[in-house]
Amino acid sequence: MADFMFPAKLAGLRVHLVGAKGTGMCALAEFLSARGALLSGSDVQDSFYTDTMLAALGVRVTEFSATAITPDLDLVVHSLAYQPDSHPELVRAREIGLPIATYPEALGALSRLQDSSGICGVHGKTTTTAMAGALAAASGLSVTTIAGSAVSSFGGHSILSSGDRHLIAETCEYRRSFLNFSPARVLLTSVEPDHQDYYPDYEAIRTAFIEYLSRLPHGAPIIYCADDAGAVDTVRMVSRSRPDLKPVPYGFSASGPFRLSAFQVRGESSWFNLDADPGVFSLRVPGRHLALDAAGALALCASIIEDEGRVPGPDFYQSARLALSEFRGSKRRAEILGEAGGILFMDDYAHHPSAIRLTLKGLREFYPNRRLVVDFMSHTYSRTKALFDDFASAFSDAHLVIAHRIYASAREEPDPTVSGELLADAMSRAGTDAVYLDSHEDAADRVTGLLKPGDLFLTMGAGDNWKLGAELFKRLSNAKDARP
């Protein structure tokens, strides 16, 4: 991996961001701007929630054009979605000899400026990172946290800073991006097959996680979810070659201070105990999997405190209880849009069968009296095909599923052997009431006819069908406001 480094002082550094609207790139913009860097950016014309954040930073974002690259720039950082040998801005930057870094390389360079914690896993890493940042700030740690989405506890931003001594960052496994990061400790949420266009099987993706964990310094902690078979397997494999590393388990199956117990749901809140402290913890976001994320975040913050030579005592756990009780999630993670026409509108990014299953189970527990209507758009042909049967059975907790065409990735060719319609048929055969509507852009009237007062309508997936939920919520809100 590249050994790109930022200068010790970022003030006055002129940086251009190619693909500035991406969540990671926007978080990087927030980090660099807070330290005095001078930023510009470029992206497609489509509107994203990050537009507002970039505008607040004073970052002018233009359409892609080679003319955006000028010799007075000090650095060009680009999203992995764009390639240096084909994107006009990156080609121009190479022609005039400007330094170029990918987003993972830039994040890795930041990790080498301070004590850094990397949070990784096939799912759960965004919410765990968001919780860890909220807990770190509440406990008075000097930490900057970078999450992969906007977080309500971060004031709607992707970054939260309570100081510069430590860095907590979400790190991604795709294309082995996390190997750019230099962690002092790692939190591992889950390992299972995903990104089939890059990792053909479980062994391939597990190898990448093993390589990442093996980068840890001597005696470093590996905080891992004891309830996830892949995480347990990966830590066991790493421990064979690195017996110096210190596994720290968390979860219902864990032993030690971060064992979860007595989980229950009442009053649209989750309640649980942790062996580390006699108090009761609560969350107002749904699902046992989010209690797991909270336990992992607690274990990570406790590890940072211990590495500072202190003991995480009652004051830490009391501040953590308050922070978790106030935690409201992050963008596109069980995000509540609002209620209109008696229907609760939510949006969630889950796009892997395991995450879908856990999310829907949590929502059924939280809202037992609501009919759960899920609008789903599968992401990538390769993932849909490789996990087809798992997708078909993942929606058993939904009362009705509305499926759309597959949201294709620019990195793959369409596969005529798999489709959203075939997936809807397979869901029906698996016992889930499912209908297929090819285009979510034209589905508003049809979906409105399927909804009833008291429903929970959830748009789900890594595609752009979230726009349908936003449109329906707006339509019903306006209809309510228009009534005399």
Contacts of 484 (CB under 8 A, 6+ apart): none
Same-domain pairing of 262 and 383: no
- In terms of residue numbers, what domain contains 401? 335-482
Same-domain pairing of 169 and 58: no
Domain assignment present for residue 9? The answer is no
Same-domain pairing of 98 and 206: no
Same-domain pairing of 238 and 384: no
Domain assignment present for residue 56? The answer is yes
Higher per-residue confidence, 158 vs 135: 135
Percent of the chain with pLDDT over 90: 73
C-beta of residue 322 within 8 angstroms of C-beta of residue 138: yes
**pLDDT of 91 above 80:** yes
Same-domain pairing of 50 and 133: no
Same-domain pairing of 136 and 254: yes
Tell me the per-residue pLDDT of 43-74, one tens digit each, with 9 for 90 and over.
998 888 789 889 999 999 999 999 999 999 99
Domain assignment present for residue 109? The answer is no
**pLDDT of 360 above 90:** yes
Of the candidates 263, 298, 326, which is a domain's last residue?
Answer: 326
Domain assignment present for residue 7? The answer is no
Same-domain pairing of 319 and 449: no
The model's pTM is 0.83
Number of domains in the chain: 3
**pLDDT band for position 480 (cuts 50, 70, 90):** low
**pLDDT band for position 285 (cuts 50, 70, 90):** confident
Query: In which residue are the tokens 């700030």 written?
Result: 137
Domain assignment present for residue 126? The answer is yes
What value does the mean pLDDT take over residues 359-385? 92
Domain assignment present for residue 4? The answer is no
**pLDDT of 341 above 70:** yes
Separation of alpha carbons 274 and 405, rounded Å: 43
Same-domain pairing of 312 and 408: no
pLDDT at residue 1, rounded to an integer = 41
What value does the mean pLDDT take over residues 436-463? 92
What value does the mean pLDDT take over residues 208-228? 97
Tell me the per-residue pLDDT of 291-328, one tens digit each, with 9 for 90 and over.
999 999 999 999 999 999 999 999 999 999 999 999 88
Of the candidates 294, 326, 358, which is a domain's last residue?
Answer: 326
pLDDT at residue 151, rounded to an integer = 82
Separation of alpha carbons 279 and 381, rounded Å: 46
Same-domain pairing of 346 and 315: no
**pLDDT band for position 388 (cuts 50, 70, 90):** very high
Tell me the per-residue pLDDT of 10-41, one tens digit each, with 9 for 90 and over.
999 999 999 999 888 999 999 999 999 999 99
Of the candidates 291, 326, 361, which is a domain's last residue?
Answer: 326
Same-domain pairing of 49 and 118: no
Same-domain pairing of 343 and 321: no
The C-alpha angle 89, 90, 91, rounded to 5 degrees, equals: 90
Tell me the per-residue pLDDT of 143-162, one tens digit each, with 9 for 90 and over.
999 998 878 888 888 899 99
Mean of all residue pLDDT scores within the chain:
92
- CATH number of the domain at 98, please: 3.40.50.720
Same-domain pairing of 300 and 353: no
What stretches of 370-457 show up as alpha helix (H) in DSSP?
A: 381-386, 388-393, 420-429, 444-450
pLDDT at residue 32, rounded to an integer = 94
Identify the burial level of 74 via C-beta atoms within 10 angstroms of its C-beta, where 0-12 means exposed, 13-18 middle and 19 or more buried.
Answer: middle
Domain assignment present for residue 230? The answer is yes
